[in-house]
Each structure stands twice: as structure tokens, then as C-alpha cells.
Amino acid sequence: MKTYPVKKVPPIYHVIPDGHHDFNVWKDSQCKFVHLLFKLVVTPE
């Protein structure tokens, strides 16, 4: 799979054990996504 061309964002995959698709999966996935979304990025000066 290619990265998104504009910002060079690599895709992230999350395998769900046993293929369940319920509230607990949504809650866990949302938590992981929010942590990635608001991750502190330090840029060199």
C-alpha cells in the first residue's frame, strides 16, 4: 500500500482478534486513533 502523497502519511493497520465488531472494539479503536491524532510532535528548531 502506498503512503498518502501530500504529507507522506503511512497507513496504520489494527487487527481485531476473532473478527468481532462490537462496542468494545469501537471504544479501543477510538482511543488509539485519538492518541495518534493528538500526539505531541517535537520539531527541531
Give the pLDDT confidence score for residue 41 in this predicted structure: 67
pTM to 2 decimals? 0.52
Among candidates 25, 1, 2, which has minimal Cα distance to 14? 25
Give the pLDDT confidence score for residue 24 in this predicted structure: 80
How many of the other CB atoms lie within 10 Å of CB of 25?
15
Residue by residue, pLDDT tens for the chain (45 residues) are 555 566 676 778 878 777 777 888 888 888 888 888 887 666 776
- First-to-last CA distance in the chain? 32
Give the pLDDT confidence score for residue 44 in this predicted structure: 72
Q: What is the DSSP string of the chain?
A: -PPBTTTTBPP---PPGGG--SHHHHHHHHHHHHHHHT-------
Give the pLDDT confidence score for residue 37 in this predicted structure: 82
Among candidates 7, 15, 8, 10, which has minimal Cα distance to 32? 15
